[in-house]
Amino acid sequence: MTTPNQQNPADAMLSFWKDAWARMGVGAAPAGAPVGTGPAASPFPGASGADPMAWMPSPEMVRRMQAAFLDAMASSAEQYMRSPQFLESVRHSIESATEMRRQMEELVRRNMGDAMKPPGQAGAEVLAALTEIESRLSARLDQLEALLRSRGAGSGQGRPADSAGSDAATAPDGAPRPRRTGRGRDA
Amino acid sequence: MTATHDRTDSSTATPSNPFAGAQRAATEATTAAFGGIVTGWIDALRPFAAASPVASAWLDEWKRAGERAAAWPKVAEIVGKRTPWATPHDVIATEGPTRLIRFRGAEIGSSVRRTVPLLMVFALVNRPYILDLLPHKSVVRQYLRAGFDVWMVDWGVPTAAESTKTLHDYIEGTLHRLVRRVLDVTGQPQLDLFGYCMGGTMTAMYTSLHQELVRNLTLLAAPVDWARGDCLLKTWTQETVFDVDAVVDAFPLVPSGYLGTSFNLLKPVDNNFRKWMGFAEKMTDEKFLEEFVAMEGWVNDNIPISGAVYRDFVKFGLQRSLLAKGEFPLGPHRIDLGRITCPVLNLVAESDHLVPREQSDPVDRLVGSSDTATRSLRAGHIGLAVSGRAHQEFWPSAAAWLLER
């Protein structure tokens, strides 16, 4: 049992072949006669009795059969492309194509994002290297500070000139200097 | 500053091959030898087939097949020689990928007898050289020979930068600037507009907004009322089936392959079987080959289209047919074809599978002009521009109509 929207595929196939054979004029041939030998179809009327190759369709007949077959195919294709089944498949194809496009764009975007940032291990290494540099700089600054203090004490001037501003550092023009926020590892 | 183009400097020119001559000679010799062998065999068999008309007919058929095989080098040669434009022209202005072309009528022996320039506007989905395909199949040359100063808008191949360009941008922006340019160069206050297919709809919209600049309007297979007529394109783009917004959101520049496949599927048997069988039958005819190759080149030269334009055309045209209702939105405007008051010539094809004539016929009812004429031809959508019948009577008559105005 089928509804108009659930047509049996065999019906469409049967209808196509019936149409094709009808267009080829097979119905005009006597029952049991070979294809293309019907009186209306023969390109050599009257010659079939004398022609030893009369069983064979002529090129013209083949061409006519071909044309009839294509006519039937064109008509079936037109009918099919208007059918609810085809329209439904168009809808699905478009949905699939747009979804695939969306997923591809998402994939490209994610990959691009990953490509822009360093991988986890490299990040840790970079951070460790920066921390190491910071430690060495801080240690060097401590050494310099100690050196200055010792020289200041030796010359009897007390604290070195710039160490007074180490907590409220100011530039010669009065603008605040960037403050060192820590020494060594914070973590 | 203008750039000049003749038939040999086209974009499809192939790079020179120093061995081309030798290769061609070798191929010709091989195929000639093959053809000779086939013909020799067939002639040897002929006495045996003399008693049978069917066998003789098959021998003739095989002989023709041998001749066809021998014609392949000629096919390759004609494919290599293909050039998209038949008539020399100058590029007067460019805007992004768009070119404004002026044809050199003097080089084909015609002189300008009508000072009002004629500007041809083609659709955005194909290349415009279908109107100038071959010297003997050129609508451009028909008008040049009639004494017109012929210009054309070649929209070019849009890039991602044009994907957001709307129909309003194309019509009120690019087209309007190019119309102004034509008028500036020629010193004329008005021009004649000619639009083909979607280009026809666009020129009708333009004329309704700038009637003062348009002297006459010629529309060729231009849809204006999509609610009428029956065609597969309309069936496929029904709102319940086709979500144009989703397509355009996913593909801001609607790909040329998608459009080409859609057009191909409108007549799948003709386009994929019959055409090639016809080609195989007639490929020994050089004139046929030249026309076939030119036509195939154009058919496969699809271009992408801005998603914004595609959305407007599908949604407001094919799905809702707002132009015929005077409600087609174009930027801040609503297009009212009733504002067209100049003479209008409507050219339609009786067997148009893309734009059924029922979709073009209402033009004379929708425009406000009292001087309208409709001419039809027993041809298809493309046959209007390239069929032999069209070039014998149809185009001379269309040019004569315009000359009188």
Distance between CA atoms of B145 and B158, rounded to whole angstroms?
A: 32
* Chain A residues touching residue B268 (CB < 8 angstroms): 74, 77, 81
What confidence tier does A171 reach under pLDDT thresholds 50, 70, 90? very low
Establish if A73 touches chain B: CB-CB under 8 angstroms: yes
What confidence tier does A157 reach under pLDDT thresholds 50, 70, 90? low
**Three-state secondary structure readout of B227-270:** CCCCCHHHHHCCCCCCCHHHHHHHCCEECHHHHHHHHHHCCHHH
For residue A114, give how far its alpha carbon lies from the nearest alpha carbon of chain B (Å): 23
Is it the case that residue B252 has pLDDT exceeding 70? Answer: yes
* Chain A residues touching residue B353 (CB < 8 angstroms): none
For residue B322, give how far its alpha carbon lies from the nearest alpha carbon of chain A (Å): 24
* Chain B residues touching residue A87 (CB < 8 angstroms): 235-236, 238, 241
Interface touch B53/A60, C-beta < 8 Å: no
Query: Which has the closest alpha carbon to B349: B195, B218, B221, B198?
Result: B221
Site from A16, A91, A96, A103 to mutate, B interface, most B CB atoms within 10 angstroms: A91
Mean pLDDT calculated for residue range A64-92: 88
3-state secondary structure of B223: coil
Interface touch A82/B250, C-beta < 8 Å: no
* Chain B residues touching residue A88 (CB < 8 angstroms): 241
Interface touch A81/B265, C-beta < 8 Å: yes
The reported pTM is 0.73
Distance between CA atoms of B399 and B116, rounded to whole angstroms?
A: 13
What confidence tier does A162 reach under pLDDT thresholds 50, 70, 90? very low
For residue B245, give how far its alpha carbon lies from the nearest alpha carbon of chain A (Å): 10
Distance between CA atoms of B278 and B296, rounded to whole angstroms?
A: 13
What confidence tier does A39 reach under pLDDT thresholds 50, 70, 90? very low
Q: What is the DSSP letter of A184?
A: S
Residues B174-226 have pLDDT tens digits of 999 999 999 999 999 999 999 999 999 999 999 999 999 999 999 999 999 99
Surface-to-core class of residue B246, CB atoms within 10 Å of its CB (0-12 exposed, 13-18 middle, 19+ buried): middle
What confidence tier does B46 reach under pLDDT thresholds 50, 70, 90? confident
What confidence tier does B66 reach under pLDDT thresholds 50, 70, 90? confident
Interface touch B273/A70, C-beta < 8 Å: yes
Residue of A nearest to B244 (CA): A94
Q: In degrees rounded to 5, what are phi and psi of residue B95?
A: -145, 105
CB-CB: which of B52, B246, B265 is closest to A53? B52
Site from A80, A98, A108 to mutate, B interface, most B CB atoms within 10 angstroms: A98
Q: Given CA atoms B18, B22, B25, B27 in this order, what sign does their dihedral have?
A: negative
Give how far Cα B339 sits from Cα of A118, B18, B118, B169, B282, Å.
63, 60, 21, 20, 49
Residues B73-130 have pLDDT tens digits of 788 888 888 888 999 999 999 998 999 999 998 888 888 889 999 999 999 998 999 9
Question: What's residue B76's pLDDT?
Answer: 81
Residues B265-293 have pLDDT tens digits of 888 888 889 889 888 888 888 888 888 98
Which residues of B are designated catalytic? 197, 352, 381
Residue of B nearest to A43 (CA): B54
CB B245 within 8 A of CB B293: no
- Hey, what are B383's tokens? 């046959």
User: What residue type is A32 in one-letter code?
Assistant: G
Q: b/e map of A52-74 (b: 16 or more CB within 10 Å)?
A: ebbebbbbbbbebbeebbbbbbb
Interface touch A101/B250, C-beta < 8 Å: yes
What confidence tier does A16 reach under pLDDT thresholds 50, 70, 90? confident
**pLDDT averaged over every residue in chain B:** 88
Interface touch A70/B274, C-beta < 8 Å: yes
